[in-house]
Amino acid sequence: MKRLTGTLFFLLSITTASIVHAQKLKKTKINDNITIKLPENFIVMSDREYQQEFAGYRKPIAMYRSNVGKATFGINTALTHAPAGTRQTFVDSKGKMRKHQAEWSLNDLKMMKSLYKSTILRLHDGVRFKQDKIQTIRKRNFVVFEFVGVVKAEKKKLVGKAKGLLRQYSYLMYTVKEGKIYIFNFSCPAKELREWKSSVYKMMKSIRVK
């Protein structure tokens, strides 16, 4: 009986130790139009940290990082050099050439999904999508991608990533406001996913865009 009790206690200890608690979230106002619930241990990324981590990209609307681990969350708008009224050419996820006017609307989400899926596949190897859809969240439609993939070696140089295999988890959401594409991006190394999985869904579904 003592041996059985000891065995049960040992198994319970392992189970308890393996439970990953959800991160506590707090409501965060990004600006007058955007709010989100972020993990309490997320802090604003400094300009210096951003340059080291994402050297090839322009400064976003907001960028946060976990004070433990490598998880990040950023908000940005898509950059277009095309004048209003002109049309842009892009390659969709099936490799076909498409054209679109420079200004986007919520009616264009299906085309946007094709455009950004092709970008994801171009930047990553071995992509496994868990979500690839258009979803309504808080009465607003978003393109949603959730996936794990390996960042291609030549792309790591653009964003200042270290050498070696980088298997990354990403949860991306896109929407349109006043003709601009807004991008919401949570990412972390795939090996850290278990720590964030229970929180990232609540976090991304808390996004409110007026």
Q: DSSP for 135-201?
A: EEETTEEEEEEEEEEEEPHHHHHHTTPPSS--EEEEEEEEEEETTEEEEEEEEEEGGGHHHHHHHHH
Pick from 203, 209, 195: nearest CA to 70: 195
Q: Which helix (H) or strand (E) holds 44?
A: strand 42-44
Give yes or no for residue 158 having a pLDDT over 90.
no
Q: Check: CB of residue 55 under 8 Å from CB of residue 39.
A: no
For 94-146, how does the pLDDT look when each residue is reduced to its tens digit (9 = 90+)?
Answer: 555 555 555 788 999 999 999 999 999 999 999 999 999 999 999 999 999 99
Give yes or no for residue 44 having a pLDDT over 60.
yes
Which two tokens mark 85? 């009224």
Give yes or no for residue 73 having a pLDDT over 50.
yes
Give me the pLDDT at residue 134, please: 98
Separation CA 159–CA 54 (nearest Å)? 4
What domains are there in the chain, each with its CATH number? 23-209 (3.40.1000.10)
Separation CA 61–CA 70 (nearest Å)? 20
Which two tokens mark 107? 């009616």
Query: Model pTM?
Result: 0.78
Strand-pair partners of 31: none
Which two tokens mark 123? 């930047």
Q: How far is CA 8 from the centre of its chain?
A: 40
